[in-house]
Amino acid sequence: MLFFSFFKTLTNQTVTIELKNDIRIRGILKSVDQYLNIKLDDVEVLELDKYPHLSSVKNMFIRGSVVRYVMLPRSEVDVGLLEDATRREAANQAGKAR
Amino acid sequence: MERLSLNDNPGNAQQQRNPQQQQQFQQQNALGPGGPQPTPGPPQLPPQMFTTAAQLLDLTDKKLVLVLRDGRKLIGVLRSWDQFANLVLQDTIERIYAGKLYADVPRGIFIVRGENVLLLGEVDLDREDDIPSTVTKASFEEVYELKKKEDDQRKSSDKKRNTELQALGFEPEHSGEILF
């Protein structure tokens, strides 16, 4: 659930998402759910001429399972805090497994 | 489910505050009803906003482009869905692209299993007729023939690349899963 919470803190930020089929989409992160499905507003498709079917799309629901990367604004991510939280989550998981 | 916004009550967030904060809260409230409203911590968003259902609710009854994992592009009106993003589309057309050409095929009603969904985009009705000048409409037969040729070409080049990669010890990316 850590990354779900993490993405929730990034709502209303501009992010770029790369899908597993190489499409890159930039937009404002509006919502995310437990599967890391992502809702983007004001989308802009990079290299749009390769993907003409997306030319008139204004907002988008992307299924979490097809996302390869999410590129985030550097200034909005507290890397130290995130590292801490991931370690704590990992420790929790290890504790539960025992 | 009703529509939710940032201004909604975050629900049980009030109960999660620790006793110390609660006390502070009461002290601030003691200033009287005219006093400044306390703003404890960052704004809490209603948890119901972060569900698949809430995301798809906004798209219901809208004209959408649906891209499937096998590369099909369907354009239709979203009528129903569930938490797995299983979808029902009405008045669907399939738009086939090949080279610089495209063609529309009327298809009707679609029930799509969620795992095949790549993305769903809401069509901006003001811009839907602005088809990029890089593609032109053609007859179905013409586009279909061209597409078949393209697909065959891609299949053989993918196969070649994958066998070369496998010989080098690489597992091909998203193997077993078709993605276009």
How does residue B14 score in pLDDT terms, banded at 50, 70 and 90? very low
Tokens of B166: 């496998």
Q: How far is A69 from chain B (nearest CA, A)?
A: 14
Mean pLDDT of B150-172: 89
Judge: A63–B131 Cβ closer than 8 Å, yes or no. Answer: no
Judge: B132–A48 Cβ closer than 8 Å, yes or no. Answer: yes
Mean pLDDT of B99-106: 92
What CA–CA distance (Å, rounded) separates B9 from B38?
Answer: 14
Is residue B26 scored above 50 in pLDDT? no
Q: Is the dihedral of CA B29, B34, B35, B39 positive or negative?
A: positive
Q: How deeply is B23 buried, as exposed, middle or buried, from its count of CB atoms within 10 A (0-12, 13-18, 19+)?
A: exposed
Report ipTM (2 d.p.): 0.85
Judge: A61–B56 Cβ closer than 8 Å, yes or no. Answer: yes
Poorest-confidence range of A2-16, B3-17, B136-150? Answer: B3-17
How does residue B4 score in pLDDT terms, banded at 50, 70 and 90? low
Q: Does A47 touch chain B (CB under 8 A)?
A: no
Tokens of B174: 């998203």
> What 3 state SS string does chain B have?
CCCCCCCCCCCCHHHHCCHHHHHHHHHHHCCCCCCCCCCCCCCCCCHHHHCHHHHHHCCCCCEEEEEECCCCEEEEEEEEECCCCCEEEEEEEEEEEECCEEEEEEEEEEEECHHHEEEEEEECCCCCCCCCCCCEECCHHHHHHHHHHHHHHHHHHHHHHHHHHHHCCCCCCCCCCCCC
Q: Between residues A30 and B44, which one has the greater pLDDT?
A: A30
Q: What is the pLDDT of residue B180?
A: 60
What CA–CA distance (Å, rounded) separates A1 from A11?
Answer: 16
Question: Which residues lie below 8 Å from residue B49, measured CB to CB, with a gap of 6+?
Answer: A31, B4
Mean pLDDT of B84-106: 93
DSSP assignment of A28-60 equals EEEEE-TT--EEEEEEEEETGGG-GGGTTEEEE
Q: What is the pLDDT of residue B3?
A: 55
Q: How far is B17 from chain A (nearest CA, A)?
A: 18
Mean pLDDT of B20-37: 48
What CA–CA distance (Å, rounded) separates B22 from B27?
Answer: 9
Q: What is the pLDDT of residue A98?
A: 75
Judge: B118–A61 Cβ closer than 8 Å, yes or no. Answer: no
What CA–CA distance (Å, rounded) separates B145 from B11?
Answer: 56
Of all residues in chain A, the one with the smallest CA distance to B62 is: A59
How does residue B31 score in pLDDT terms, banded at 50, 70 and 90? very low
pTM: predicted TM-score of the whole model, two decimal places? 0.76
Secondary structure of residue A92 in the 3-state scheme: helix
CA B53 to chain centre: 12
Q: What is the pLDDT of residue A49?
A: 86
Q: What is the pLDDT of residue B83?
A: 86
Which contiguous run of DSSP H or E holds residue A22? none
Q: What proportion of chain B, given as a percentage, has pLDDT over 90?
A: 44
Is residue B103 scored above 90 in pLDDT? yes
Judge: A33–B174 Cβ closer than 8 Å, yes or no. Answer: no
How does residue A27 score in pLDDT terms, banded at 50, 70 and 90? very high
Nearest to A20 among B55, B73, B174 (CB): B174
